[in-house]
Amino acid sequence: MVGRRATRWGWLAFLALALALTGDRLRLASPDPGVLLIAHTLTAASERAVLDDLIREFEAGRPGTRVEQLILNSEVYQTVGWRLLMRGRRPPDIYFLWRGYKTSDAIDRGLALDMAPHLDPTVLEDLVPTAVLRRGNAIYHLPQSIDISNLVWVNRDLLGRAGLEKPADLETWLEACRQLRAAGILPLIQGNRDLWPIGNLAAEFLGQELGTDTLDRLFVPGEPVGPEVMAGLAPLARLAEEGAFDLPGLMNRGAIAGFGDIDAKVFFLTGRAAQHIVGSWLLADVEDAAEKGALRFEVGLFPVPPAPHQSDAITAVTTGWMVHAETPDPQAAVDLVSLLVSRRYQERFARLGGLSGRRDAEEFTGAPLARKALEILRNTPVWVSPPDTAYAPDQARVFYDLAGRLAAGRLTPADAVDLWNREKRDLARKGL
Amino acid sequence: MTRRGQLLFFLPALLLFAFFVLLPATETLWHSVHRHDGGETGYVGSLYYRYAATDPKFHQALGNNLVYLVLTLIFEVVVGLGLAVALEREGRLNHFLRIVFFAPCVLSLVVIGLVFGFLFKDGVGVFPGMLNESRALLTISVISGWTYCGLFMVIFLAGLAGIPREVLEAAHLDGAGAWQTFWHVKLPLLREVLYVALLICFTGAFKAFDLFWVLAPNQDHTSIVSTLLVREVIHFDNKGYGSTLAVLLTLLVLLTVAVLLTLRRLLRGARTSSTHAGP
């Protein structure tokens, strides 16, 4: 009897000890006015090193304030991560976002602080005005970088071997792809497993044909479109038809649908394809490969060429920082954002391939390819937003799916109109 | 043990179950009849259920689930049973082979998916084209079979070990061959184990997610209900319809279990009455 009682007390004591040891770890997070929480997707070690230095400097200048980072993979952050963070007990004080649908949503839902009252006016003077998100006099989003979503990255050696130059327009580009293929070279390596690479390219083709206003209307929920709208996707279908994305023995026709974007990047950087269409963020990988001596060819880039009758458009998105409306110390949070967009740190991010949203970006952007990308940004009159950042996720997803089918040769532009309208009707029935 | 003692033992499990299963399940049910627009929520009644009834994507996903169920039944249960019978005898080689066949089952399905995904990748893989539209479902089922047939082998080996030796000896003395012994003696005596195996296989086929998500994401031709619902919630931010699909998936799993249990009861009843009908 005594032994059983002792065992029982022993178990209770063990339980109490276990709770005491884990209790603090199980404690739910609660806002701490001394801690600034910053959520972002800067996962590369080189980018994190810059951010760590910045945070150290900030903390040194503001004793008693500590900065904690919430680092998420870009795909997770963009889809579900950001939303979950905002619903949590401890939302971040400062958060990274792609400008567009999500930033509008954050402002509409009262999750964004108007930074204007806390911002030093000189900070704004240094930034490209269109890169700053304003509503009236309120300022909600300051730029970390401007990403061009589609650039045609070329292997100059392979292009030269086929006797080709940078194409002047869409027709010469398609002709160049035909010639590359005839020379046994894969013209374009694209991985569209996750749909966004071709979705962004399709948006650019449409932007060139229609301009941003008509493109915006395409994504209005429940509104059907006519064949003239989808005609802008013809270049994508032609690229697929003429075999720009495949080569017998190397890539099967339609394989683009199962090939990952990272696989495609590696494929290109190892010199197995003449061209690769992806955003300006490839700059960092090109620099990285060159530094490691793994790049065995000369890389060039040009924007996706428009047809003669089309306007010159690029797909670009501003990434940047927002401050949570309920942050306990708005001044500290805005000061940290100001440091993030300061020349000193933007210069360091630019060295890693970032295209800064500062007016003086060209002065400190040294890498020739990055300078070229900045020049493209400056000289292109029409900017189209990537659908997954600009529009409601359900509408964007249908468009990406449609573009993926076109590129894999499973859909024609004529059928695309029916599919798009049918999918939009279905979304409307779901209340989306 | 006293009633109070029983309650004390029962309470922690009940609390955990209520907190981690009942509460989220109830919330899912609630979400399935509500529309979520940004921060606002509105009651929509049976809208999403009516939509699901006519949604071709849901129908396709459900069809894929059923095809996958049949294929996994073959590649997991039938192959597992075959392996168990083949490796039933004690011996060094059989012990080694049992380990070989069981080994994939301890690996994470995500890891398996990534490895096979690389093998089947166009352009770089050793067997390109295996995840094409016409083959993907079969390929995934075979991979699933390769992974889990070892688990079913172990389940059936345990069942076979429980068959009384005298029964097998009697069959042998009566002149029954290996096939006759399997068909008329072992299989009927494995019935209870078979129910368990079928239950695991059927519920697993509806719960499947990892391999499909890793090997063929964003592909309608291989979407199953679980991947469709995750796409709705994560990619479309449509918690309402996603929750509806989750409720329907749960109902399907429950229905499958109910059908299996009813069949088992009916067969048992038929067996009992045929025994009683004898002289």
Does the pLDDT of residue A334 top 70, yes or no? yes
Q: Which two tokens stand for residue A100?
A: 């567009």
Give tens-digit pLDDT for B163-207.
Answer: 999 999 999 899 888 899 999 999 999 999 999 999 999 999 998
Inter-chain CB proximity A193 and B35 less than 8 Å: no
Give the gap in angstroms from C-alpha B74 to the nearest C-alpha of chain A: 27
Assess whether pLDDT exceeds 90 at residue A27.
Answer: no
pLDDT at position B278, please? 47
Whether A124 has a pLDDT exceeding 70, the answer reads: yes
Q: What is the mean pLDDT of residues A387-401?
A: 88
Question: Poorest-confidence range of A307-311, A418-422, B208-212?
Answer: A307-311
What mean pLDDT is predicted for residues B73-78?
Answer: 96
The DSSP output letter for B42 is: E
pLDDT band, residue A25 (cuts 50/70/90): low
- In 3D, which of A304, A296, A302, A346 has the Cα closest to residue A321? A346
Q: Please give the average per-residue pLDDT across B3-25, as a whole number.
A: 90
A408-to-A192, A292, B122, B133 alpha-carbon distances in Å: 9, 34, 13, 11
**pLDDT(A6) > 80:** no
Tell me which of B240 and A18 has the higher pLDDT.
B240
Residue from A32, A29, A30, A54 nearest A321 by CA: A54
Chain A residues close to B48, C-beta within 8 Å: 430
pLDDT tens digits along B244-258: 999 999 999 999 889
A64 touches chain B (CB under 8 A): no
pLDDT digits (tens, 9 = 90+) for A263-311: 899 999 999 999 999 999 898 889 888 888 889 999 999 999 988 888 8
E strand or H helix at A369: helix A368-379
- Statement: residue A20 has pLDDT above 80: no
Alpha-carbon radius of gyration of chain B: 23
For chain B, say whether A250 makes contact (Cβ under 8 Å). yes
Closest residue to B129, CB basis, from A252, A263, A430: A252
Chain A closest-CA separation from residue B111 CA (Å)? 16
* Residue A148 bridge partners (DSSP): A316
Using CA coordinates, name the residue in chain A closest to B44: A431
pLDDT at A403: 93
Cβ neighbors of A171 (< 8 A, separation 6 or more) are: A307, A308
Q: Which residue has the higher pLDDT, A355 or A78?
A: A355
Chain A contact for B236 (CB, 8 A cutoff): yes
Q: How far is B93 from chain A (nearest CA, A)?
A: 40
pLDDT at A223: 83
Contact of A325 with chain B, judged by CB distance below 8 Å, is answered with: no
Give the per-residue pLDDT at B279: 45
Q: How far is B224 from chain A (nearest CA, A)?
A: 17
Question: Do the chains contact at A259 and B123, CB–CB below 8 Å?
Answer: yes
Residues A52-67, mean pLDDT to the nearest whole number = 95
The complex scores an ipTM of 0.71
Residues of B in contact with A431 (CB under 8 A): 35, 44, 47, 240
